[in-house]
Structure 1
Amino acid sequence: MVSRRQRQRQLAREKWERQQQARAVHRRKVRQRAIVIGAVVGVIAVIAGGYGVYLLVRDEPSEAATPTPSPSVSAPSVAPSTTPVAAPQPKAGECLYQAEAGADQKEVGLPPTKPTLAASYVASIVTSQGTITATLDPKVAPCSTNSFDFLATKNAFDKTACTELASAPAKASYLRCGSLTGTPTSGPGYIFAGENEKSASVPAGSLVMAGDANRGGSQFLVTYGKASTFDRPVTVFGKVTKGLDIVEKIAKGGVTPSTSPVAGVGSPKTAVVIQDVKITKK
């Protein structure tokens, strides 16, 4: 017959054995978990290492290493400090004017997204050298026409200098105006997409949106001389009907040498300041 003390010892031993078994099971689980985690970490390390090698040997250069192209002899000279962002493409019948911040921007608000366009627009650009009259084309360049009209009503062009002149040997001949703050990247606090774009055989007397590709703003070109060729598509939004001789006279005054790498491009020696722009609509 088992005594009470023996029975207690037996129960204590069985309890100890159960504890040992539980500890053994726990240790096995810990080891298994460590093995699984180690395998996962190893796979991740292999993948990461392989991707690092891919980055080192791939042919495609990184964005930071991609050189910014210099302006060519046929393009309006621009010296942006950062890579410009293209304006969004609008839907039919709409104009998307995307806000643009920066010290070189003179914010005047945003033109209407769904403009009510007139049948005809006549712009009188009054400068210190005389008045240039031009018709705007709302059919082929509705958003450019709407923006130019909006800026004129805001008196944004008043007291602004025409900052750039291009002549031979450049393939494009133009007078550049519309810099609201006097800087090459100046704008009205918004950008919009290009329209009716072409690059070759732009006739003399054309009003052309200036700036980077697909980034219209306040700056515009008045072409003169022979037909101009640009190295990228540009928006033609109007035509000079009177006063082109004023631009040609300014061009004969010559170009002040500048730091621009584009031969024949610099500031006009003959100072030109826009005093007022008036739009007549019918």
Structure 2
Amino acid sequence: MASSRDRQRKLARAKLDRQMARRAAAVKRRRQVRAGVGTALILVLIVAGSAWALGAFDSEPTDNSAADEVCLWTPQNTAGNSNLKEVGEPATTGLPTTGTRPMTVTTNQGAPISVELDLATAPCAAASIAHLASQSFYDNTKCHEITAEGAVRCGDPTGTGLGGPAYSFYSENVPTGAEPSPEASPAPDAAPTYPKGTVAMISNPPGANGSQFLIFFKDFTTAEPTYPIIGRVTSGLDVVEKIGALPTVDNGSGEKVKPENDDVVIQSLTVGEPVLDPASPAEPTPTGTPSPTASTEASPNAG
């Protein structure tokens, strides 16, 4: 019996020795792993510190170029809506945001009307008009309204005030309203909200711009402006004034704003290449825009 117990003790001892050996090996492996990780971490910190010291993590100055997304075009539902015309959408990047862009409106009322579109304050309106011009969107369309504010309204192929492209975009450059005087009229020396020669978008509802625009033939002042200014007339203002002097009749809605005898027709609308300010850095030629002779215009989905 003693011999049997001795064998059992020996076997138990041997088993315990094997367990202790395995535990010792496991502890050794853990120590080796920890040591390796620590060494690697130290190396990473050394490399990162060296890179930081050499300026590897210094951020480059942001290039405020047209490569960034500039404009957002909101698709409009054209199902069952014959007022909206599908002509694609302008680009969202690669758009010029400094300088000006020439626009020429040729009508059946005399010499061409030259406009300077402001790319700094209304880059999306300029991009939209340029795109629409490249699609001949404005060609052979009517300026269907002479507004009570003193502007000629153009850019709706349907001639109803409801037409435009199958996209819209937000207003960019709505002026500050005139401060009302105690007599509820602007001060005599106050600058008009929309000086004569101003070109502005018009939409229905306000803010959902598309293709329609106004050319003011007289000063207009208001405390609640809604028309975003996109440019100004540089020549041909006498033609705009001539159109503004045409007699008007009821357009069917109770307003006498429709030219009575003569249809005012845009025979062509073109937009030229961007003209940079002398002090501005050169910008890449925008993508998806027309050549200097391409037709152009902007049209709101509802005006």
TM-score bracket for this pair, using the shorter chain length:
0.5 to 0.7
User: Where does 1:130-149 land on structure 2 (aligned, <5 Å)?
Assistant: 130=110, 131-149=112-130
State the shift of 1:181 in Å.
2.4
Equivalent of 2:202 in 187, 198, 210: 210
Deviations 1:38-88 (A, max 9, x none): xxxxxxxxxxxxxxxxxxxxxxxxxxxxxxxxxxxxxxxxxxxxxxxxxxx
Cα distance in structure 2, aligned partners of 1:242 and 1:214: 28
* TM-score between both structures, scaled by the size of structure 2: 0.57
Is 1:177 paired with 2:154?
Answer: yes
User: Where does 1:38-187 land on structure 2 (aligned, <5 Å)?
Assistant: 93-100=69-76, 101=78, 102-117=81-96, 119-130=99-110, 131-166=112-147, 170=148, 172-187=149-164
Deviations 1:134-153 (A, max 9, x none): 10001001111110111111
Cα distance in structure 2, aligned partners of 1:134 and 1:160: 18
Q: CA 1:93/1:204 → structure 2, altered by over 3 Å: closer, same or farther?
A: farther
Say whether the 8 Å CA contact 2:102–2:117 is kept in structure 1: yes
Unaligned runs of 5+ in 1: 1-91
State the shift of 1:270 in Å.
3.0
State the shift of 1:119 in Å.
3.2
In the alignment, which residue of structure 2 is the partner of 1:265? 257
Say whether the 8 Å CA contact 1:134–1:241 is kept in structure 2: yes
Q: In structure 2, the residue corresponding to 1:259 is in which secondary structure? A: coil
Cα distance in structure 2, aligned partners of 1:228 and 1:165: 17
Say whether the 8 Å CA contact 1:173–1:228 is kept in structure 2: no
State the shift of 1:229 in Å.
3.1
Question: What amino acid is the match of 1:132?
Answer: I
Q: In structure 2, the residue corresponding to 1:266 is in which secondary structure? A: strand
Q: In structure 1, the residue corresponding to 2:130 is in which secondary structure? A: helix
Please identify runs of 4+ aligned residues in structure 1 that moved more than 6 A.
Answer: none
Q: Aligned residues: percent identity?
A: 34
Cα distance in structure 2, aligned partners of 1:133 and 1:240: 6
State the shift of 1:164 in Å.
0.5
State the shift of 1:241 in Å.
0.6
**Which segment is superposed worse, 112-121 or 180-189?**
112-121
* TM-score between both structures, scaled by the size of structure 1: 0.61
Q: In structure 1, the residue corresponding to 2:70 is in which secondary structure? A: coil
Cα distance in structure 2, aligned partners of 1:197 and 1:133: 22
